[in-house]
Amino acid sequence: MKQVLVIYYSQTGQLHEILNNITKTIAGGDQVNISYLKIEPKKPFEFPWDSKKFYGVFPESFLQIPTELKPVPPEILNNKYDLVILGYQVWYLTPSIPINSFLKSDAAEKLLKNTPVITVVACRNMWIQAQEKTKRLLAAVGANLVGHIALVDRHINHISVITIEHWMLSGKKDRYKGVFPKPGVSDNDIRAAEKFGLPIRAALLNNNFESLQQELLALDAVRVNPFLVMTDERGNIVFSKWANHLIKKGGPRDPERMKWIGIFKYYLLFAVWVITPIVFIVFLLTYLPMYQKRNKEKRYYSSVLLKDN
């Protein structure tokens, strides 16, 4: 019997639902057994978020500073798996603190080394650089990335900014003010995630994952938006400066740091509503000269390859 382990961290339950739908079509009969490992920080991150804490985790999140986790149960840690499915959220263009912390742990190396891994990300829209960071963390523990699925909020950027903040701070995945669309991955995309399980099951039973990512792409597992690739890259450059500045201002409750976190919050609003439209104009003006480069980036970011830095 094939052993599959699903490792995940989900605050809202959205990612867990997606993973359940994927594994629904992987399981079946007596050929595949599926286990779940929920990553749990010793000090939980609350949901819904308090506004100050929501912005306050930015430096540790972006700089990938681990937090303490509850230990992995021995019955999981001491088992050998034929496939691991890793589900994660994106926090500030980076894999969430709990997932980052797990991937930097000894338990991750024991579970993932020389093991096929499929990553599943559910987020607002920008996941490209978070996936690159995840690829590097997986490579560091000797994992073999064989597949990637990215499910996102398909609404336009400025709409999703409003709706995701409403969801994170209220805990309600509903239509904000009765006007805006529901935040997050759509109900249709969540239900349709079960289609990805079929090629995964076939690859697992055949012990051959070589063509899996191409089969997942044929099912619309990944959509790479060239504008968001550019925005993500620029965002990481700016976030690096902010995070390194903020981390020097003390711990999460330090008054000096809290003052600067407040400034950072207003910078984010300025970036979304002023800088991003300017970046979009630059993107349009350079689209034809950069066409071949954009296509090359789309092929790479749709793959499971990891380029040398």
**Cα angle for residues 249, 254, 259 (degrees, 5° grid):** 70
Domains and CATH numbers, the chain: 2-223 (3.40.50.360), 229-296 (no CATH)
What pLDDT score does 28 carry? Answer: 75
Output the pLDDT for position 309: 62
Say what the pLDDT of residue 189 is: 97
Task: Give the model confidence (pLDDT) of 134-182 as tens digits.
Answer: 999 999 999 999 999 999 999 988 899 999 999 999 999 998 888 899 9
Percentage of the chain exceeding pLDDT 70 = 100
Helices (H), the chain: 14-24, 51-56, 58-62, 74-77, 97-103, 106-112, 128-140, 157-170, 187-192, 197-206, 212-218, 226-247, 255-270, 276-285, 291-301
Q: Which residues contact 48 (CB under 8 A, 6 or more apart)?
A: 167, 168, 169, 170, 171, 172
- Of 86, 78, 79, 2, the closest CA to residue 39 belongs to 86
Pick left, alpha or beta for residue 13 (phi over 0 → left; psi -120 to 50 → alpha; otherwise beta).
Answer: left
Using DSSP's 3-state secondary structure scheme, residue 28 falls into: strand
**Taking CA 303 as the corner, what is the angle to CA 297 and CA 307, rounded to the nearest 5 degrees?**
65
The whole-number average pLDDT for the span 74-100 is 97
Q: How do strand 94-95 and strand 90-91 relate by DSSP bridges?
A: antiparallel
pLDDT in tens, 239-296: 999 999 999 999 988 999 999 999 999 999 999 899 888 989 989 999 889 899 999 9
Render pLDDT for 54-71 as a digit per residue (tens, 0 to 9): 999 999 999 999 999 999
| Rounded distance between C-alpha atoms, residue 87 and residue 121, angstroms | 6
